[in-house]
Amino acid sequence: MIKLAKNVSLKKYSHFKIGGQADFFVEPKNLEELKEVLEKAKKEGMKKIFILGGGTNMLFDDKGFRGLVIRPVFNKIEASEISPDDIEVKAGSGLLVGELLNFCVEKNLSGLEWAGGLPGTLGGAVRGNAGAFKGEIKDSVIKVISFNLTNGKITERKNKECDFYYRTSIFKKKGNNALSNKELIIEVVLALKKGNGENIKNSILEKINYRHLRQPLNYPNIGSIFKNVNIEKVPQATLELSEKEIKTDPFPVVPAAFLISEAGLKGKKIGGAKISEKHPNFIINFSGRAKSSDVKKLISFVKKKIFSKFSIYLEEEVVYLKP
């Protein structure tokens, strides 16, 4: 019988090291355990449920969460040969991307090298269509299997049905018919190619080293706070100013980090949180004691400044969980 733990600190599960307690917390290892958890939640009359992955993109509130946090630790992985060159990998959503990459190196599988150093779980990566170095998880997804927490239905969606786009997918959609936080991704099937293990490993290490050089990884953080800005949304004068900075990843964008830097906001502190000087699209918990309110204030400060200077509305990439 799986037990729901009570009053669990979310700080421990947050890459930011910020967050109060969740009333209930559980880590099911498979679908049977997940179903058992939902039965219990129903019996106890729990209304609010939140799905957690690696907590690498999450801002928890200092007041915690008045509900149940489900952190699926579905970690099974298996590869099957489709042709001498093509390999299909079936992986559990709770698998860390780093563990998936180790598997790829071990089995000589190529296609995910761009994800070197990408923290978090496979489920989290699929939900937000994580990407870097001109790669995105959607490029390798064949299908995604998910479980609807409301009606218990299992759905298998082919890549095209997942509505992948820049840092989003059908699993992130909010509003009418929202799947966000309703469908828990349980398994992902990926298409990879046979490659050379040594080359794959070196390519992954290259990305990890690049991240260490460019990102403030010595401090608690949750990666890029804002999405980069599609050049179609950038006024002409700012476009001219940012001409040399435009990146095509996956379409032409002005990096949010460039705008924040141009606005002179590097190093700006509120309470225990600070805009990183090393990578201005990162907010770091430099003191180790930042409050969620410090981070929220810093985020709205940046948005206001960028809007007044460039007439650009920055959109958050990170997820804030209300208590």
Ligand X SMILES: Cc1cc2nc3c(=O)[nH]c(=O)nc-3n(C[C@H](O)[C@H](O)[C@H](O)COP(=O)(O)OP(=O)(O)OC[C@H]3O[C@@H](n4cnc5c(N)ncnc54)[C@H](O)[C@@H]3O)c2cc1C
# residues near ligand X by CB under 6 A:
34
167 catalytic per annotation? yes
Q: Is 119 in the site for ligand X (CB under 6 A)?
A: yes
Q: Are 42 and 314 in contact (CB under 8 A)?
A: no
For this structure, is 317 an active site residue?
A: yes
How many other CB atoms sit within 10 Å of the CB of residue 307?
Answer: 12
d(CA 64, CA 18): 9
Give the three-class secondary structure for 32: helix
Q: Which of residues 151-170 bind ligand X (CB under 6 A)?
A: 167
Map residues 3-22 to x or -, x wherever contact with ligand X holds by CB under 6 A.
Answer: ------------x-------
Only segment of 27-35, 77-85, 112-120, 260-268 that touches ligand X (CB under 6 A): 112-120
Interface pick for ligand X out of 18, 52, 105, 284 (rule CB under 6 A): 52
Please indicate whether residue 78 is annotated as part of the active site.
no
Q: How far is the CB of 58 from ligand X (least distance, A)?
A: 4
Q: Is it true that the peptide bond before 119 is cis, omega within 30 degrees of 0?
A: no
Q: Tell me the CA end-to-end span of the chain in Å, nearest whole number.
A: 28
Question: What residue type is 185 in one-letter code?
Answer: I
Distance CA 146, CA 120 (A): 18
How many other CB atoms are there within 10 angstroms of residue 264's CB atom? 11
x/- contact string, 208-247, with ligand X (CB under 6 A)?
-------x-x---xxx------------------------
Cα 315 from chain centre: 15
Subset of residues 242 to 281 that bind ligand X, contact rule: CB under 6 A: none
CB of 184 to ligand X, least distance (A): 5
Catalytic option among 14, 93, 224, 242? 224
How many CA atoms, within 13 angstroms, populate the side-chain half-sphere of residue 194? 7
Residues at the contact surface with ligand X, assessed by CB under 6 A: 15, 51-58, 72, 93, 118-121, 123-125, 127-128, 130-132, 167, 171, 181, 184-185, 215, 217, 221-223, 319
Active site residues: 167, 224, 317
